Amino acid sequence: MVRSGSWVLAAALALLAPGAASLAAEPVPGGEVGVASWYGAWHHGKRTASGALFDMHKLTAAHRQLPLDTRVRVTNLRNGRSVEVTVTDRGPYADGRVIDLSARAAEALDLKRRGIGRVRIEVIDDEGDGDGDAG
Protein backbone atom coordinates (compact mmCIF):
# COMPACT_ATOMS: atom_id res chain seq x y z
CA MET A 1 0.00 0.00 0.00
CA VAL A 2 1.30 3.47 -0.96
CA ARG A 3 1.00 6.21 1.62
CA SER A 4 -1.10 9.21 0.56
CA GLY A 5 1.85 11.61 0.70
CA SER A 6 4.20 9.44 -1.36
CA TRP A 7 3.15 10.99 -4.65
CA VAL A 8 4.23 14.41 -3.34
CA LEU A 9 7.72 13.10 -2.61
CA ALA A 10 7.86 11.42 -6.02
CA ALA A 11 6.83 14.66 -7.73
CA ALA A 12 9.45 16.64 -5.81
CA LEU A 13 12.16 14.14 -6.74
CA ALA A 14 11.07 14.29 -10.37
CA LEU A 15 11.60 18.05 -10.33
CA LEU A 16 15.16 17.50 -9.16
CA ALA A 17 15.92 14.94 -11.88
CA PRO A 18 18.32 15.92 -14.66
CA GLY A 19 16.51 17.80 -17.41
CA ALA A 20 13.60 18.77 -15.16
CA ALA A 21 12.53 22.39 -14.89
CA SER A 22 14.68 24.16 -12.32
CA LEU A 23 13.22 26.16 -9.46
CA ALA A 24 16.17 28.54 -9.61
CA ALA A 25 16.05 31.80 -11.56
CA GLU A 26 16.69 31.51 -15.26
CA PRO A 27 17.91 34.60 -17.11
CA VAL A 28 15.83 35.45 -20.19
CA PRO A 29 16.16 38.44 -22.51
CA GLY A 30 14.96 41.49 -20.55
CA GLY A 31 14.44 39.65 -17.27
CA GLU A 32 14.30 36.28 -15.57
CA VAL A 33 12.04 33.28 -14.98
CA GLY A 34 11.65 31.67 -11.57
CA VAL A 35 9.36 31.07 -8.60
CA ALA A 36 7.43 33.90 -6.96
CA SER A 37 5.92 33.95 -3.50
CA TRP A 38 4.00 36.64 -1.65
CA TYR A 39 3.94 38.42 1.69
CA GLY A 40 1.18 40.33 3.42
CA ALA A 41 -0.33 40.94 6.85
CA TRP A 42 2.68 40.00 8.98
CA HIS A 43 4.83 42.61 7.17
CA HIS A 44 2.08 45.21 6.68
CA GLY A 45 3.16 48.59 8.06
CA LYS A 46 6.80 47.58 8.57
CA ARG A 47 9.64 49.52 6.98
CA THR A 48 11.00 48.16 3.69
CA ALA A 49 14.57 48.35 2.38
CA SER A 50 13.58 51.50 0.48
CA GLY A 51 12.48 53.20 3.69
CA ALA A 52 8.79 53.17 2.76
CA LEU A 53 6.23 51.39 4.91
CA PHE A 54 5.09 48.10 3.38
CA ASP A 55 1.45 48.22 2.25
CA MET A 56 0.13 44.80 1.26
CA HIS A 57 -2.63 46.54 -0.74
CA LYS A 58 -0.17 48.22 -3.14
CA LEU A 59 1.45 46.67 -6.19
CA THR A 60 4.97 46.19 -4.83
CA ALA A 61 7.61 43.47 -4.65
CA ALA A 62 10.86 42.43 -3.03
CA HIS A 63 13.82 41.40 -5.20
CA ARG A 64 17.39 40.55 -4.21
CA GLN A 65 19.25 42.47 -6.92
CA LEU A 66 17.08 44.86 -8.91
CA PRO A 67 17.52 48.50 -7.91
CA LEU A 68 14.88 49.85 -5.55
CA ASP A 69 12.07 51.69 -7.38
CA THR A 70 12.51 49.52 -10.49
CA ARG A 71 9.19 48.82 -12.23
CA VAL A 72 8.76 45.25 -13.44
CA ARG A 73 6.05 43.28 -15.19
CA VAL A 74 5.46 39.91 -13.53
CA THR A 75 3.62 37.26 -15.56
CA ASN A 76 2.19 34.08 -14.08
CA LEU A 77 3.35 31.38 -16.50
CA ARG A 78 0.49 29.07 -15.48
CA ASN A 79 -2.35 31.39 -16.55
CA GLY A 80 -0.74 34.28 -18.49
CA ARG A 81 -1.91 36.98 -16.08
CA SER A 82 0.45 39.95 -15.67
CA VAL A 83 0.83 42.79 -13.20
CA GLU A 84 3.22 45.73 -12.96
CA VAL A 85 4.90 46.20 -9.58
CA THR A 86 7.57 48.44 -8.06
CA VAL A 87 10.54 46.91 -6.22
CA THR A 88 10.53 48.49 -2.75
CA ASP A 89 12.16 45.78 -0.66
CA ARG A 90 14.85 43.09 -0.57
CA GLY A 91 14.14 39.38 -0.65
CA PRO A 92 12.83 36.79 -0.98
CA TYR A 93 14.82 34.95 1.63
CA ALA A 94 13.44 31.48 0.85
CA ASP A 95 15.71 29.37 -1.36
CA GLY A 96 14.56 28.86 -4.93
CA ARG A 97 12.43 32.01 -5.13
CA VAL A 98 13.20 35.06 -7.23
CA ILE A 99 10.58 37.60 -6.15
CA ASP A 100 8.18 38.22 -3.25
CA LEU A 101 4.98 39.97 -4.25
CA SER A 102 2.60 42.04 -2.17
CA ALA A 103 -0.72 40.37 -1.38
CA ARG A 104 -2.47 42.58 -3.95
CA ALA A 105 -0.01 41.63 -6.70
CA ALA A 106 -0.36 37.93 -5.80
CA GLU A 107 -4.13 38.24 -6.05
CA ALA A 108 -3.86 39.91 -9.46
CA LEU A 109 -1.76 36.98 -10.70
CA ASP A 110 -3.99 34.37 -9.01
CA LEU A 111 -1.01 33.16 -6.93
CA LYS A 112 -2.30 33.93 -3.47
CA ARG A 113 -4.13 30.66 -2.80
CA ARG A 114 -1.31 28.46 -4.11
CA GLY A 115 1.31 30.54 -2.31
CA ILE A 116 3.95 30.26 -5.03
CA GLY A 117 4.06 30.11 -8.80
CA ARG A 118 6.42 30.17 -11.73
CA VAL A 119 6.69 33.66 -13.23
CA ARG A 120 8.54 35.73 -15.81
CA ILE A 121 9.93 39.07 -14.59
CA GLU A 122 10.58 41.82 -17.15
CA VAL A 123 12.09 45.19 -16.29
CA ILE A 124 9.87 48.05 -17.47
CA ASP A 125 11.67 51.00 -15.88
CA ASP A 126 14.86 50.90 -13.83
CA GLU A 127 15.20 54.65 -13.40
CA GLY A 128 13.35 55.02 -10.12
CA ASP A 129 13.91 58.08 -7.96
CA GLY A 130 15.17 55.96 -5.06
CA ASP A 131 12.56 57.10 -2.52
CA GLY A 132 10.68 53.79 -2.53
CA ASP A 133 7.26 55.47 -2.76
CA ALA A 134 5.28 52.98 -4.81
CA GLY A 135 2.18 55.16 -4.61
Q: Residue 97: which H helix or E strand, with range?
A: strand 97-102
Quote the percentage of the chain above a pLDDT of 70.
75
- In 3D, which of 43, 77, 78 has the Cα closest to residue 61? 43
18 pLDDT above the threshold of 90: no
Q: Which residues pair with 71 in a beta bridge?
A: 86, 125
Q: What is the pLDDT of residues 99-113, one digit of tens each?
A: 999 999 999 999 999
pLDDT at 125: 79
Dihedral sign (CA 102, 106, 112, 117):
negative
Summarize the confidence of residues 35-63 as an average pLDDT.
95
Q: What is the mean pLDDT of residues 69-77?
A: 97
Topology (CATH) of 20-125 = Barwin-like endoglucanases (2.40.40)
Q: What is the mean pLDDT of the chain?
A: 81
